[in-house]
Chains A and B, each alone.
Chain A
Amino acid sequence: MIKLSAVYVLAGLVFAAFAVLSALDRNNSRRFGNAAFWGLVALSFLAGDALGDLGNGILVLGLAGIAGLGLLGRGQPATTSPEDRKALAARFGDRLFIPALTLPVVVAFGVLVLKPLELGGQPLLDPKQATLLSLALAAVVAVAVALWLLRQPWISPLQEGRRLMDTVGWAALLPQMLAALGAIFALAGVGQQVGDLVTTWIPMDARLTAVAVYCLGMAGFTMIMGNAFAAFPVMTAGIGLPILMQRFGGDPAVVASIGMLSGFCGTLMTPLAANFNLVPAALLELKDRNAVIKAQIPTALPLLIANIGLMHVLAFR
């Protein structure tokens, strides 16, 4: 069975290459900061399980320290000029889309075809991680297709990958750090505290009020925690289950489903959902870190209100 550890080795090697190429990049005045940062990420992927909990903790402090002290620069690998790219675009034409479209095709192949496959009674891919395994496989296949089809230099996947990685910068590690923070919150019982706070102070005698508190609470709590998965157990244990389902007899499937989607409205409005909101701003080189969130709020807020209406109508038929 192919497990996630295979992906980690691949990721570790790629990040190690980013680190080495960063160190050699004389055009970046902070090249050693970049080399150290990506080097630590490589170490985490290659040897994380051997470092021990304390070792990993120190590694995280190193990452936060490098980012916090502003030691990260932006690498400038030699690449093609805008004029070159226009000429190349004219020459290659629509063939340029093939490597990029190889990614979704191979991912879909992995999820739909490889995932159900078994080899000697064992699944070929670890079923829990089939999507990420497929994505890694797709990345490798697509690089091969791109190099072969577009005749780019052998080093270009690593150099161009490093260019994009430096564009994202420290924000690349924020989603993983926030996930780790979520674990600390869980350990300290933060969710329960917030849930108690909401249920103690807000009267929920009317059905519509209770529905509104549950939906708004899911969204608000998701904004604080950065993801709806952390908010769901707390808000549902506090309001959804005892009040909406048991006292008012709401349909559990409707309450839970629309409650979760109310949480997703919150995800659209918080910088703590870094991989959806802050990472794309960095990837698209937006000046305003919160530009994506600002573009989402006018959809998220009316949708949240619509969710309250939908739950009120559909859960108590």
Chain B
Amino acid sequence: MLKLLQLLEEDCTLTDSQLAAMADLSVEEVAQQRKALEEDRVILGYKAIVDWDRTQREAVTALIEVRVTPQRGEGFDRVAQRIYQYDEVESVYLMSGAYDLTVIISGRTLKEVAQFVGEKLATIEDVTGTATHFILKKYKEKHLIFERQEPQERELIFV
């Protein structure tokens, strides 16, 4: 199971037969384990990592520090839930330290993001403060480097 997860986390485009050979399992075993992992929501989904800056589409991402008042019996979960329901919200993490939640949101323009924070996020009951940081440039995400790496110039040698 762990081996399968490691392989998929690295590259989810691997086919079941590739995974089978690599993890020393049969194709049926891979299909079975994968199905179980998906059903148990150990695997939440499979997504491409996109560099929107290379396209015509405008996109801004912001990281928002959110301070909230935890609720009796529910802690931070209920307010986190109210935040993550919004489609604009990409990720929500509970943090240790100076603030409580990290919320990552993406929108088409700065204005769109600012509006979301001002009108939706900051007005949620129990949210006591926000600090919005716009992401200026992405260098690396999920172990992938955004900048194209120029290959070393080379002449083939026989080794």
Same complex origin of A and B: no
A interface list, Cβ under 8 A from B: none
- By a beta-carbon cutoff of 8 Å, the part of chain B in contact with chain A is none
